[in-house]
Every structure is written in structure tokens, then in C-alpha cells.
Structure 1
Amino acid sequence: MPKIIYVDHEGTERPIEAKNGETVMETAIKNSIPGIDADCGGACACATCHVYVDEAFMPKVGEPEDMEQSMLDFAENVQSNSRLSCQITVSDELDGLKVTTPESQH
């Protein structure tokens, strides 16, 4: 099982084993990760699962599609490595993925 490392804005790391095919957001919700609320349940209709993706993994997770980019317009402190965790599907290729939640979501 791939491991996703969730980091809060203070630097606390929470490594979680994730199931292939689930999203980074679903894994966070199942494991009560602070800072990822997912108010819309993963429908890409809010920005409450906004994360910063570790730069080393950006080529693997790819760029946000148009709908996700539109939702990121509602997030605070968007950066070039910002993604909605509901739009990142877990796979073996993402083993070790580190995502950080913005301070504004805590």
C-alpha cells in the first residue's frame, strides 16, 4: 500500500497507508487528518481539501484540470503546487507523496 504523508502548517507529519484508487482526500477523511474538511464530499465543488504538493511529486500528480483550477480560485494562499486533494488518485507511483495543508484551513 502506498504511504501518503500529511503535513500540517506547523510541520507535524502524519504518514498514512492509503488504498490504490482512493483519493488523497478520502484517505485524509478516513484518518481524521486535520485541515482537510472536504465539505463537498469530493465533488470538486469547494476548496476545503486544498493542499500543497511536494515539488518532487508535481510531475506525478500533474496539473489541475479546468474545473479544479476554478475551485482553487476560492482557496486562500494558492501556490504553484496547490491541488485539491479530492482530485489526486492514490497509486503505487505516489508512494511517499507529501502534502501540506495551508495554515488557513486549521
Structure 2
Amino acid sequence: MIVHLTGPDGRSEAVRGAAGDRLLDLAQAYDFPLEGTCGGQMACSTCHVIVDPADHARLPAPSEEEEDMLDFAAGAVATSRLACQIVLDESLDGLRVRVPAGARDARR
């Protein structure tokens, strides 16, 4: 399946993922600046992404814990999510996601 990622620098790429892949891992594999400091344990907001409003309803609702972490994300909006909590399945083919301005990746 394809996910359309846009970085804070405007770079846009259609990346290929498989059912069961976490968006965080996929974005990192394609060198998008998502740090994921906590390793995807939902203990930080360094994998904050903004889902295209047209696609947001295709995602399962965020948990209360994810919503709490998003309170710490700089520039969070109504369609913000944590990439570590988005697990791909066939219903998400074509998903459009943007890494917000100010995102950084200390892994580099």
C-alpha cells in the first residue's frame, strides 16, 4: 500500500508500506524527520504528524493516552496524530500525512 508523506521542507514522497507497519517506522525508513524518542511507546510526542483532513476519518479514534501526548506536540491541530500509533492496513492505502514544521530527528 502507498502512503503519501510530506516533510517539513516540502519534500513529498509516495512510500510503500505493508499491513502491520507502523507509520513511524515507515517514515524513518524513508528518512523523514520523525524522532520517536520513546521508541513508539507513546511516552513522547516526537513522532507528531498531521493527517490530511480528508483522510483523518479513516483512522481509528486516538486513545485518551495519545490525545494526552498530543497536548505536548508543537503545532498540534485537530487532525494531529502520533505516527507510532498509526498501524497500516488496507483501508489506509493512499493516506496523506505531513510532518509539521519544526520536526527534528536527533537520530541524525
Same fold (TM over 0.5): yes
Q: Secondary structure of 2:37's match?
A: coil
- Counting aligned pairs with the same residue, the percent is 33
Are 2:40 and 1:42 equivalent residues in the alignment?
Answer: yes
Contact 2:8 2:99 in 1 (8 A): yes
TM-score, reference length from structure 2: 0.89
Offset of residue 62 of structure 1: 3.1
Structure 2 counterpart of 1:78, one-letter code? A
Which runs of 5 or more residues in structure 1 are unaligned? none
Residue type of the alignment partner of 2:3? I
Q: Deviations over 1:53-83 (max 9, x none)?
A: 0111111113321010111111101100000
RMSD over aligned Cα, in angstroms?
1.2
Aligned-partner Cα distance in 1 for 2:51–2:79 = 5
Secondary structure at 2:87's aligned position in 1? Answer: coil
1:31: how far off? 2.3
Distance 2:62 2:22 in 1: 14
User: Which structure shows the bigger proportion of residues in helix conformation?
Assistant: 1
AA aligned opposite 1:51: V
